[in-house]
A and B are shown apart, each in its own frame.
Chain A
């Protein structure tokens, strides 16, 4: 019987405290009153600000998984926003599975488009070619000089990737800024009145500063000043809430925008490692629910012309929030790639360590198709310490013009990769990879591999 009054008292106290937090007191400073409704954000700048040292430009990063264009653990989303990143992959079941990837997204404009270029270099731990190891099998002493002479630069894949950025393509807010701005400002169109009222109230109290308590003012000014500050603080709170509700949904749709990019890749290998190889690759990434889908559905009402009307823009902002509402956590992404590879002809002979053995690589052509699906499993795409999963399937068709018996028409590789973001800089990917044929291409040389990695996104 005694529990009910205690519970009731606690409930009343809770609501009393909550109510107290939502109104200013005479003992509050002006700033404390304001922060009851509008908490502080941001931290002090320890370095000289860009205004002070005239520097600018920062870069963006999200959990985008492994960026390597040659890794079987590649992600469904390529990051074109980070300036520089590096990743290390290592196979636990093969001795030659390590690869170090460097990404550079130069902050330059191409054809009027910002951040459209990605340069990448992948350093693969080089294995000796199968023909050589097969010839000297059982004679490790003969292989030793070749093995010892290998360095980390004997198998390097260099690539350049171009990604057009526009209203339809890419995850940058820049092409969408006019729409974003019109909708955002339509939500709370009349801010001037209460901002001027705030400034006038402050001006009417001589020497009032933000760290002054209301009860330190003259008695005839205390209540009116507090009420004026509180009214303005509530107006700012309403404004930020309205804007925040919209901006959050807009960012979710923006992050799901498709990306289309073309890659030219040249793999340089030492002669005892393998042939040099050219690759052309086209990739299309698409998110499940994005701004393009919103435009398709509401474009007749919500276009640049109609958004000039504040009422229409407000209606469209609400439509966008409703549209994105069901996809608050969905960031499913599918990447489809088509590749063409050409292997250069090469013949190796005359090395005294070969003991008269000759071998080489014919010119070969390969077509490959890759499908990668990924999504954030833990948290949301932009939340800290999130985790994402990527499922990949790759089909390769290798043609040997000089010996059709060496054609490999059905080499398939499947992988599942989980990338856990540890902090703002580091991510930890783990992959399970299956290939139906062992082959000397790439870093997959066993039917079943487990890859562990470390991904580091470097600050500028």
Chain B
């Protein structure tokens, strides 16, 4: 009876007007049925000796009325049935030879039969209400927690986004700074060194061709200056390869691979599709750095004999593949360990120019790093 009512309520709430209507009709039908049954039992009580319609039968009417939605119905039914029982007591036919107390006892027992189920039903109702309340409170709690969760996920996403922006900004700032230092070294310090050398060469010419101690000293100084100038140039290159700004990504990569090959003895193949679009400085620098990082990883870990760098144009973007034939690694291990840091750095760098990066590797079968940057970026 409990679950039955609950289901009815649910149906009434969820499935709109017509269901509500039919449920009402059923309720009314139930009231009529209870009334009819009551009348029937009353008639039986009057007609048959010993009050056949007592106890069990009347309690059935009470149970039936309890199944209805109307809270008042069971009580009204119980009161009516009690009244009918009492009313029928003096009029119902007697069984000859049976003492009067037996009949009266029978009627009192009927009253018990009518009211006991009611107590049981009301207790049941109360428990049900309590359960419903607890349920509602639980649902409310779940709703609140779900909202909390959604909010914190949003916050997490936002902070992740901020982190990416910040990382991008840091990387750009760092790159800017390095570019500036390189420029200072190259364009200022080195130019002055060159001029100094010119001046000293002029002095050298004025001293004349006769060998002298002064000239020897001058030559040594000049040689020192030349070495210093070379060192400064190399320092500037390490900070930021000006070739990237002056001659573009292709020339810079060629130089990078050239240096890599002569430094490590690894054979380097370079394939570069001509570009229709001009890459802006930030994007080409990001690509350059990531390729540089891949190459330095290869030099440090891969034990490769061959490296391939391919730059191709795909629809909207530039695809760069760096492939080596080295020892490779277990990708899952790298994802777990701190070895992922260099990879993270590469990803962040490309992310800062809306690009992406994928690494594929298997132990003993080399490593392939694939990068992508969109080409539609407006040059800055």
Answer yes or no: do A and B interact. no
Which residues of B come within 8 Å of A, CB atoms? none
Which residues of A come within 8 Å of B, CB atoms? none
